[in-house]
Amino acid sequence: MNDEKKRPYEVLEKYLAMNEDEFVSHDVVRDCIDPYTGSPLLNGEETPEEKCMKSEDPGFDYDADVSLEAMIIAKNAYLPAMTGFDETWKLVPQESVIVNGENGQKKVFNKEKLKYELVYEVVIKKEYTLRGDTMNTVAATNKEYCRLFKTETLLPLAFELIDLYHTLGNFFLVPHKNGYSVAGARESGPSKGYFDRFLLAVYNFFFGINDYSRSLSSVLKDDDLAGFYKSYLREKFSLDGNLSWNKFIEVNFLQDYVEGSRESGYGKPIEFWSGHFAGKVMPETKGEFILFYETAADRIRKRGQRIYCALQKKKLPSKR
């Protein structure tokens, strides 16, 4: 199903044909055909544990957040509201990369052309492309829960979040260029992929708050990478030459992640659990784990609903 020749309107029509509940809960991994077997990656018969393992490591070079489906939805749902976005941004397969694998063997990433990105195709190209990123992590939290409580059995609420992990409400766009990966740094950095702490660093940048431990340089582990991301934010989320937090929130459908409203103005990000901004990055009590699973799942669902409503208001591209 991830065919580079597939017309974008076919994917868009498929998702718009869903009702809201189907759209919000749809696992994008189900749209990927395993190139080794010719079968759907998830066939609906897995146990929750098997589904978790497959969704984390499908067995080949595939990422749901940069799949054709996820990137087409991103392009049509919220990119048009960004400053300077137009049809010169083209959706193309990411370039294949060859690296040394185990035993000296070469491994080719994206050889099946299952990963996509948006490229600015004009005479002078942008120095970056746009790629999807999974907002709310789940694997690190699950591993910490098992380690902390010396168990191999996750809380039932963990599986509710796993079910939503690869849905469209859990993906957003970040800039990417060689040597700079906002997605990778956000996952491996001090915030350990917790989106509320990353969003706090973005908020501090927008409002000029000097707090290094909660800054983009700290969260992304690198001043140059943080500078690259700041340049992107200035370019895409400014109004009348000034950074606009309201625009960043609305373009990315993040209203449920912050205080305030459009009428009152959007405010500070909301913690996943009380004390998360000032305390430990990882949950430490069973109550904190429960709050994270509940809150992250709720925000993913609500964001998915917002994206669905935005898409329903769009006019589908004409078939030619």
CA dist 55 and 166 (Å) reads 8
Bridge partner residues of 33 (DSSP): 40
Neighbour-count burial of 104, counting CB atoms closer than 10 A to its CB (0-12 exposed, 13-18 middle, 19+ buried): exposed
> Would you mind telling me the total number of residues written for the chain in this entry?
320
Query: pTM for the complete prediction?
Result: 0.87
Quick one: three-class SS letters along 34-87?
A: CCCCCCECCCCCCCHHHHHHHHHCCCCCCCHHHCHHHHHHHHHHCHHHCCCCCC
Residue-wise pLDDT tens for the chain (320 aa)?
Answer: 444 455 566 888 888 899 999 999 999 987 765 555 555 555 555 544 444 444 444 455 678 899 888 999 998 887 777 766 666 788 888 888 777 766 667 777 777 778 889 888 765 567 889 999 999 989 999 999 999 999 999 999 999 999 999 999 999 999 998 768 888 888 877 888 899 999 999 999 999 999 998 999 999 998 999 999 999 999 999 988 899 999 999 999 999 999 999 899 999 999 999 999 998 999 999 999 999 999 999 999 999 999 999 988 875 544 44
Backbone angles phi, psi at 301, to 5 degrees: -60, -45
Element (H, E) at 132: strand 129-134
CA dist 272 and 137 (Å) reads 12
Contact 35, 61 (CB under 8 A): no
CA dist 93 and 4 (Å) reads 7
Contact 4, 113 (CB under 8 A): yes
Give me the residue spans of the domains in the chain: 8-312
